[in-house]
Amino acid sequence: MHNGSHRPGAKALRYIDLFCGIGGFRQAMENLARDFGIASQCVFSSDIDKHCRASYAANFGDTPAGDITQVNEQEVPKHDLLLAGFPCQPFSIIGQRRGFDDTRGTLFFDIARILKAQKPRAFVLENVRLLVGHNKGQTLQRILETIHELGYEHQYRVLNALDFGLPQKRQRVFIVGYQPGVQFNWPEAGAAMKPLAELLEREVDRKYYASDHIRNRRYSQIEPQKELLMWHENKSGQVCARPWCHALRAGASYNYLLVNGERRLTPREMFRLQGFPDSYRIVSKDWTARKQAGNSVPVPVVQAVIRAVCEAHGWMGPDQIKSISRNARVRL
């Protein structure tokens, strides 16, 4: 059993962390415990990537289970809240309107079978924005139909990390499920964006600087400027400069994001752009850490969504709720 942080004498909110990666959801839960006193206990986590499991263990003291497809849903501990940033796969029998059975062969099926067996009170799922339109919307529709079949009400919404304090344009779809009768409201966006200058390191190793050839190609499109900007090159080779970062991507080219057209981001900067505190230990090599950051959830966004779920279920007292309304800005 995996132990999380909780107040002495308080009944801890029990949750599981599926496809946990490096622990973006777990970090959000720990932030909520710190900022709003939401007692919580992680009772199970899982990820297939050994490097992610090592990072998770180094930071949270728990080593996640491996491949979730090999985990018996009956052996997953009882929990109140299921959290999962699951990969999106095309459904094998999409369009047959067979509900739960339509999801077999996809990783969403592993979430569905755990929901069916353990019946948590609520769940929060995260995925790429393109899920909304995937297969002309049929993939998302099948997911929502399955959630309804399992007895949950649900809402989904695309949220942007830019609206929750991070200087990163990262749009993700969130699906929140809860038992009938719960009044769930999405968190309000509009937190002041943290300036890039506060997240970037002042001095970095020369290895992060792009070659003269790469930099000259950038400068042929945009002149160097005094203002601190992130330069982004898209797949067609066009370059734009913004006071915020385009979405970190695990599989992108090495030089698609350059600070002022000159250098790549360091792993620490990438983790900061996803909302991880500097106390988070980066234990992987640069390439692996870059991939981990690109695959992670933006912590302040999931923190705001989970906070709203906790409020809807009465998992936080009125004092904490008043504190939330006074402090709309998420701490980074």
List, by residue number, the catalytic residues: 88
Beta bridge partners, 245, equal: 168
HSE-CB at 25 with a 13 A cutoff on CA atoms is 28
| Burial of residue 214, with CB atoms counted within 10 A of its CB: 0-12 exposed, 13-18 middle, 19 or more buried | middle
Long-range Cβ pairs for the range 134-141 (8 Å, 24+): 134/88, 134/90, 135/90, 135/91, 135/94, 138/91, 138/94, 138/95, 139/88, 139/90, 139/91, 139/94, 140/173
Q: What phi and psi values does residue 38 have, to the nearest 5 degrees?
A: -80, 105
Residues 89, 131: contact at Cβ < 8 Å?
Answer: no
Provide the token pair at 161.
């990390």
3-class secondary-structure state, position 87: coil
Q: 176 and 159 in contact (C-beta within 8 Å)? A: no
Q: Which two tokens stand for residue 231?
A: 């330069």
Helices (runs of H) and strands (runs of E) counted in the chain: 9, 11
Q: Are 112 and 142 in contact (CB under 8 A)?
A: no
- The residue type of 123 is F
